[in-house]
Structure 1
Amino acid sequence: MNLFAQIRSLILTTLEGMVADGVLPEGLNVDPITAEPPRDAAHGDMATNAAMVLAKPAGMKPRDIAQALAERLSMDARVTSAEVAGPGFLNLRLAPSVWQGIAAGVLKEGVDFGRADLGTGQKVNVEYVSANPTGPLHVGHTRGAVFGDALASLLDFAGFDVTREYYINDGGAQVDVLARSVYLRYLEAHGQEVAFEDGTYPGDYLIAVGQALKEKVGADYLDQDEGVWLANVRDFSTDAMMELIKADLAALGVEIDVFYSEKSLYGTGRIEAALEDLKNKGLIYEGVLEPPKGKKPEDWEPREQTLFKSTAHGDDVDRPVMKSDGGWTYFAPDIAYHYDKVQRGFDALIDVFGADHGGYVKRMKAAVSALSDGQVSLDIKLTQLVKLFKNGEPFKMSKRAGTFVTLRDVVDQVGADVTRFVMLTRKNDAMLDFDFDKVLEQSRENPVFYVQYAHARVASVLRKATEAGIAVDDATLGAADLSKLDHEAELALLRKLAEWPRLVETAARSNEPHRVAFYLYELAGEFHGLWNRGNEDGSLRFIQEDDAATSQAKIALARATAIVIAAGLGILGVTPAQEMR
């Protein structure tokens, strides 16, 4: 039940009538026409740009089109007034019954209210986290995990067929460093003193892994050359780290459908197959790159390399895929991995990267465009850094990790629900301040509390109504006389509820789940405002003494609000609160 889509459909049908009557010429493109909330709520309930869009192709003045459209729309029972504004915008006011019907619609559809068919079942792969398997997830990974997981849920809610994926970076030199670090802990487990040098990882989290290795192989690797144990310890360590990472993700409420190993690309012909595909398209060649910006020509050593002609697909420069020594560049397995995604039949790909991966965006988009012949889109979302504070000071480093604050540090401090909601209170590419004190504060300034408090207040109303003998099941509430919801504060809340289906589609189109968090905060604000008015005006209280019929109408509005909050929190991966403590 998308009221904005319904009114847009009414506008388009009315325009068809104007074409049939000769008021407008045939063949006009109506796709850009919208029905949306006006920038200023005082101007009306909805606004449409129809006249502005059609004026030039119709060869008419926008105000003339708007006036003719207004006269016809005013004949619809749902429209109480249609006013032309400015150069030709059209502001509409809708009958109270339209808004009152929203509550009934929410109660009928439940948490599926707002669920859309925007995606029409298209297959979308959302890859996120994809951290090196060398240690526990840190706070930066936390933001990417929450963002990716919420985005996947949003797209699912909007009708896409979503696969959540994690790319295990287990094919590079960093896993050799991990293996050497675990070997040092293995030696420690045997009572030897060790020193962490050459970039090895000193975090305490590897102590248990070293002990587990000892329990598995005993003394077999003591005093042995690296060539004897490196490969086996690498596999053992990677598996152990992935178990740790999966446990961290579970603590945050993140579930991944597919874990894809980078190592599986090597020695299997997959990299070669991807590059052969590009070669057959004339996009692989031997050449010399221009010197990078900022370097003097005499400092540049030109050498012939195997290059991907990424400039043919929008990149700034062509990219090497093979080193001069014959080894693959890091970009080659990335190409192969995305080639595999294309081959798996996804219609769209989304990669969630950290802020330090900005340089990868154009080359990866070029690769996917080339591999799919422009048929598969790739959207890369960069998540900015998170700054942690406690007691007004930057949060100290984690002893367990050695060098950074872990995901578990954050979740253990404030819980998964608070962590997830707060991580979505800023757009992904904006810096986020995470203050451990403020996120637990019980005030309007704390968005997660403010939204949860609204849901808990509704739960309290339902409990009290039940104790008073008032039936509050959704079927009964949906059948209540909702015309009793005629106060402006009640209608304002209904209008905000009506925005939810449109918000879902808007957020899904732009791959921006933070919009859901913003909307929930605004919805909670409307609800709390109505609640507070009830403290002064008894007629606005949800339970009206000795008037079950009016109570049920008002409780229907409260229950509808809770349903939408629960649906939105479900997308964010947050459990709705039944009471606040």
Structure 2
Amino acid sequence: MTETKTLYAAYAALIEKVLTDLVADGVLPAGTSFANVTLEPPRDASHGDLSTNAAMVLAKGAGTSPRALAEAITAKLAAHPAITSADIAGPGFINLRLAPDAWLTELQAIAALGDQYGRSQMGTGRRVNVEYVSANPTGPMHMGHCRGAVVGDALASLLEWAGHEVIREYYINDAGGQVDVLARSVHLRYLEALGVDIGEIPAGLYPGAYLQPVGEALASELGERFRDAPEDEWLLIFRAEAVTRMMDLIKSDLAMLGIHHDVFSSEAALQAAGKPEAAEAWLRQHDLVYDGVLEAPKGKAPPEDWEPVTLPLFRSTKFGDDQDRPIRKSNGAWTYFGADLAYHMQKAESADELIDIWGADHAGTVKRIKAAVAALSEGEGRPIPFDVKLVQMVQLMRGSEPAKMSKRSGNFITIADMIDEVGKDVVRFTMLTRKPEAQMEFDFLKVVEASKDNPVFYVQYAHARIRSTLRKAAEAGFAPDPAGLDKLGEEEIALIRRAAQFPREIESAARAREPHRIAFYLYDLAGDLHAFWNLGNDRPEKRFIVEQDASLTAARLFLGQAIGQVIHNGLGVLGVDAVETM
């Protein structure tokens, strides 16, 4: 990666140098940590270009007031040739104003870095496992999976941009009773393909027509071998075949969304390999599992036939849970928690950090899995950061009416149906226009509107508008050139200020594990671009192409090309195409 330093990184380094000098001067005590010092745009643009909280967060440790420390900091910052003023606001915030050349230099940095602009080494190559989707392999992907799939994939991409090594993982829940139901459903379709009149699909089986091709394929491969055979002869075979074919279908659906995982981990394979047993042994060795009596259900009277049973219990209360959790059932089978605990231990073997993307309906299990990973951290003597992002469901609408279900699936709208209707980019960007923990509506009519109220159109149109202008300019004999950048005025500088925030937006979004911040940022950048463009509607001298001034035109084209590059890079983080025309 090129060593070209972006503006926020350069001025953050400058502030750190000033603070280091103040340590040497005895103003700040030796060993002062600068970890909580921030550099960001002021909330009110009229206050300046950059703002730092350095004096606010370091004054107490220095035994002085924030304002007195701010005066010492500004005295040194004011000596920098590109800083035109360093002012103290309120109790001790420091606002900086930069000379226009600082922003013009950043514009050239965008051009120099190109597709690399915004990439960071913040993650220092730490391996982060992001597990997302992990839908039961019982049918095609539907809208219940879509939002989590997009959030997880965009987060993985964001972390890569911020310098992490990312493992994208999918956990196949193929060891539970629902897979037996799937196998029986496929066997019924197999009989149907052999000419058997199966009548109505029995209650409790999967009715979707998506299983018909699976039954037909198995009928072709197996013939009538299992037509009249008892269930115990065909159940395991049909389980394996059904899971394999459903995963092929799921992978195909995810590919339509631009999603590809690095690792597919099977719950059945995990158990067959004895990983839960190994996890239990490890936990017992570290006194984190004991044999105890599971408490009666809280808040209600236990069933009449309830009896206290001694089970292996994980000491989850030691790590903040409200009760210790059984890892096995009374019949010796693994509980969901026991299997999940072993799975997270497996993931931690090859990662420095774990992130799970779950539906909001799994909120009740967060505390116990966090306790399990905390126990693993303690036992191994290394911190294993673990985060769970909960994603709310999406309500599908068509205008004022709920959207109708898919004929293919029987009772839900598939991701394939959505993409066929509105396209991958619309689905992905729209899913990132709200925080994942917030409820959202997906209106099939609104998401294809060509208006400012449709964020994906608004952002893609900004990029297409720039590309169209560059093509039109080339036809007229103009090309981007930085030679005349000194002709750019305050309106253009304001646009550069917004573009220059992209690298810090990548880092702050990555720290917060919130890819939707990039979608919000792109909408604001697109708004600034459209606003500047609209100046030329009434004032011809503000247009990108001013035929009588070739130098100014070349400079504005250079600016437009850079803004387009930032939009292109930001959309790339989100897995959305930067279109050339609209």
TM over 0.5: yes
| 3-state SS of 1:481 partner | helix
The correspondence of residues 121-160 of structure 1 with structure 2, limited to 5 A, is 121-160=125-164
For the pair 1:174 / 2:182, whether they are aligned, the reply is no
Of residues 334, 343, 363, the one that matches 1:337 is: 343
Deviation larger for 150-159 or 63-72: 63-72
Deviates more, 1:440-449 or 1:426-435: 426-435
* Distance in 1 (alpha carbons) for counterparts of 2:376 and 2:274: 16
* 1:16-62 deviations in Å (ceiling 9; x for gaps): 33333344444433221111111211211111111111221112121
Determine which of 524, 535, 538 is the counterpart of 2:537: 535
Q: Deviations over 1:223-259 (max 9, x none)?
A: 2110111111111111111111111011111111111
**Which of 90, 96, 101 is the aligned partner of 2:94?**
90
- The one-letter code matched in structure 2 to 1:132 is N
Decide which moves more: 62-71 or 125-134. Answer: 62-71
The CA distance in 2 between the partners of 1:176 and 1:148, in whole Å, is 29
What residue number does 2:581 align with? 579
Paired residue secondary structure (2:327): strand
Alignment partner of 1:367 out of 361, 365, 372: 372
Residues of 2 paired with 1:457 and 1:255: CA distance?
31
Q: Secondary structure at the match of 2:115?
A: helix
Aligned to 1:383: 391
**Which residue of the partner structure matches residue 72 of structure 2?**
68
AA aligned opposite 1:566: H
Q: Does 1:9 align with 2:17?
A: no
Taking structure 1 as reference, are residues 329 and 24 closer, same or farther at Cα in structure 2, changes over 3 Å only? closer
CA distance in 2, matches of 1:573, 1:485: 33
Whether the aligned pair in 2 keeps the contact of 1:151 and 1:512 (CA below 8 Å) is yes
Aligned residue in 2 for 1:317: 323
The answer to whether the 8 Å contact 1:101/1:482 transfers is: no
Residue number in structure 1 paired with 2:244: 239
What SS does the corresponding residue of 2:322 show, helix, strand or coil? coil
- Cα deviation for residue 179 of structure 1 reads 0.5
2:468 corresponds to which of 436, 460, 475: 460
Instruction: Return 348-357 or 534-543, whichever deviates more.
Output: 534-543
Q: Is the Cα contact below 8 Å between 1:342 and 1:372 reproduced in 2? A: no
Cα distance in structure 1, aligned partners of 2:30 and 2:250:
59
Q: Which moved more, 1:78-87 or 1:2-11?
A: 2-11
- Report the TM-score when normalising by structure 2: 0.96
Larger mean CA deviation between 114-123 and 358-367 belongs to 358-367
- Partner of 1:322: helix, strand, or coil? coil
**Residue 441 of structure 2 is aligned to residue 437 of structure 1:** no
TM-superposed CA distance for 1:142, in Å, is 1.0
| Equivalent residue for 2:300, pick from 295, 304, 312 | 295
Distance, in Å, in 2 between the alignment partners of 1:295 and 1:552 is 75
Deviation at 1:191, TM superposition (A): 2.1
Question: Residue type matched to 1:113 in 2?
Answer: Y
Work out whether residues 459 and 526 of structure 2, in 8 Å CA contact, stay in contact via their aligned partners in 1.
yes
Distance 1:436 1:288 in 2: 52
Q: Which runs of 4+ in 1 moved over 4 A?
A: 297-300
Q: Equivalent of 2:524, from 518, 522, 525?
A: 522
- Structure 1 residue 314: deviation in Å? 2.4
- What does residue 565 of structure 2 align with? 563
SS at match of 2:171: strand
Amino acid at match of 1:212: A
SS in 2 for 1:91: strand
Answer whether contact 1:5 1:35 (CA < 8 A) is retained: no
CA separation of 1:140 and 1:297: change in aligned 2, threshold 3 A:
closer
Contact 1:2 1:502 in 2 (8 A): no
Aligned pair count reads 573
- Judge which range, 87-96 or 372-381, deviates more: 372-381
Q: What CA deviation, in whole Å up to 9, does each residue of 1:193-242 have, x standing for no partner?
A: 22322410000101111111110111111121101111111111111111
Give the whole-Å Cα distance in 1 for the aligned partners of 2:260 and 2:538.
46
Partner of 1:410: 418
**What amino acid is the match of 1:426?**
R
Structure-1 residue corresponding to 2:351: 346
Q: 2:85 aligns with which of 81, 97, 102?
A: 81
Q: Which moved more, 1:248-257 or 1:29-38?
A: 29-38
CA distance in 1 between counterparts of 2:94 and 2:215 reads 70
- Look up the SS of the partner of 1:528 in the other structure: helix
Q: Distance in 2 between matches of 1:38 and 1:426?
A: 24
Query: Contact between 1:283 and 1:309, CA under 8 Å: does it hold in 2?
Result: yes
Task: State how far apart, in whole Å, the 2-side matches of 1:280 and 1:186 are.
Answer: 48
Out of 229, 240, 254, the residue aligned to residue 249 of structure 1 is 254
C-alpha separation in 2, matches of 1:95 and 1:105: 16
Match of 1:505 among 487, 504, 507: 507
Is 1:35 aligned with 2:39? yes
Indicate which of 119, 142, 147 corresponds to 1:115: 119
Where does residue 481 of structure 1 map in the other structure?
Answer: 484
Q: Equivalent residue for 1:100?
A: 104
SS in 2 for 1:372: helix
Structure 1 residue 335 displacement after superposition:
1.4
- Cα separation, 2, equivalents of 1:219 and 1:564: 60
SS in structure 2 at match of 1:274: helix
Whether contact under 8 Å (1:277, 1:371) holds in the other structure is no
Deviation at 1:297, TM superposition (A): 5.7
User: Is residue 235 of structure 2 the alignment partner of residue 230 of structure 1?
Assistant: yes
- Structure 1 counterpart of 2:533, which letter? W
Of 201, 207, 212, 1:196 maps to: 201
List per-residue Cα deviations over 1:265-322 (Å, max 9, x = no partner).
1232211111111111101111123333321267654222111111222222211101
Q: CA deviation at 1:453?
A: 0.5
TM-score (norm 1): 0.96
Gaps of 5+ in 1: none
Contact 1:388–1:435 (Cα < 8 Å) also in 2: yes
Single out whichever of 132-141 and 541-550 deviates more from structure 2. 541-550
Deviations 1:124-167 (A, max 9, x none): 11111111000001102111111111111111111111111111
2:402 is aligned with 1:394:
yes
1:428-470 per-position Cα deviation (integer Å, ceiling 9, x unaligned) = 1111110011100000000000000100011011101110112
C-alpha offsets along residues 515-546 of structure 1, whole Å, 9 cap, x if unaligned? 11000000000100100012122222111203
RMSD: 1.4
